[in-house]
């Protein structure tokens, strides 16, 4: 059972001050409750996926761009052409949001970065070690995670390919007047000695044309925006 009330309803406007206050309360709770933190990472609350994959990226965007506490946002209803709308002054910005988790396999379930992330979060929730790389999988219903020997080039490719995949998934969507916001989850930590901005720019070029007005990529303390 969640210890926090999730206050954000779809189709309603909220100030970024409310989101920041919620995130602060969330951090405080997680610091004192490892079970709660593990359940949140694993999307075990009804609202966790919305927080982890929509509100967290839009909050990172807001912080990187200095959105004021009184600026507002709205989670759009299911089936709407956009995921989140942001209201700053007299301007309205529309965002479609997707997550690009790194993955190291070219085929099979391990190719899906989101699937690998989910398996690792489940391992951590159970108090078991979860290694980065491709060697995390399910065997007979049990999640197994083993060390994966790899170099920086492997990690760069794992991130670049999934960024390209994330953009290509969205190329079938009508993006006129809308920004594609990509949450490059964990890239900055994984690629600590790499120019992530250059990697992102190259991946966006490789992905090809799209109808979106622009592309923004966020992670913890990272922001990139197409020209």
Of 44, 72, 100, the domain-final residue: 72
Residue 185 is encoded by which pair of tokens?
A: 């989850």
Q: Is residue 113 part of a domain?
A: yes
Say yes or no: 118 and 183 in one domain: yes
* 74 alpha-carbon distance from chain centroid: 17
Last residue of one domain, picked from the residues 26, 54, 72: 72
Residues 42 and 117 in one domain: no
Give a yes or no: residue 205 inside a domain.
yes
Percent of the chain with pLDDT over 70: 99
Q: What is the pTM of this model?
A: 0.94
- pLDDT, one tens digit per residue, over 139-171 is 999 999 999 999 999 999 999 999 999 999 998
38 lies in which domain range?
Answer: 13-72
pLDDT digits (tens, 9 = 90+) for 183-214: 999 999 999 999 999 999 999 999 998 899 99
> Which own/partner contact pairs does 62-67 have at CB distance under 8 Å and 24+ positions apart?
62/16, 62/19, 62/86, 64/218, 64/222, 64/223, 65/223, 67/16
């Amino acid at each position: 059972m969640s210890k926090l009330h999730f206050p954000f309803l779809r189709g309603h406007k909220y100030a970024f001050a409310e989101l920041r206050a919620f995130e602060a309360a969330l951090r405080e709770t997680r610091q004192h409750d490892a079970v709660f933190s593990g359940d949140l990472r694993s999307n075990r609350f009804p609202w966790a996926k919305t927080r982890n994959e929509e509100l967290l990226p839009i909050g990172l965007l807001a912080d990187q761009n200095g959105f004021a506490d009184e600026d507002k946002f709205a989670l759009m209803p299911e089936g709407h052409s956009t995921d989140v709308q942001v209201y700053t002054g007299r301007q309205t910005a529309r965002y479609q949001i997707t997550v690009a988790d790194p993955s190291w396999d070219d085929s099979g379930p391990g190719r899906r970065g989101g699937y690998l992330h989910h398996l690792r979060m489940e391992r951590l929730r159970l108090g078991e070690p979860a290694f980065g790389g491709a060697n995390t999988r399910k065997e007979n219903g049990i999640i197994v995670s083993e060390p994966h020997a790899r170099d920086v080039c492997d990690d760069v490719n794992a991130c670049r390919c999934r960024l390209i995949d994330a953009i290509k998934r969205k190329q079938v969507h009508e993006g006129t007047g809308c920004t594609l916001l990509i949450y490059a989850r964990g890239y900055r930590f994984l690629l600590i000695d790499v120019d992530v901005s250059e990697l992102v720019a190259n991946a966006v070029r490789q992905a090809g044309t799209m109808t979106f007005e622009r592309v923004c990529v966020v992670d913890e303390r990272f922001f990139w925006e197409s020209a």
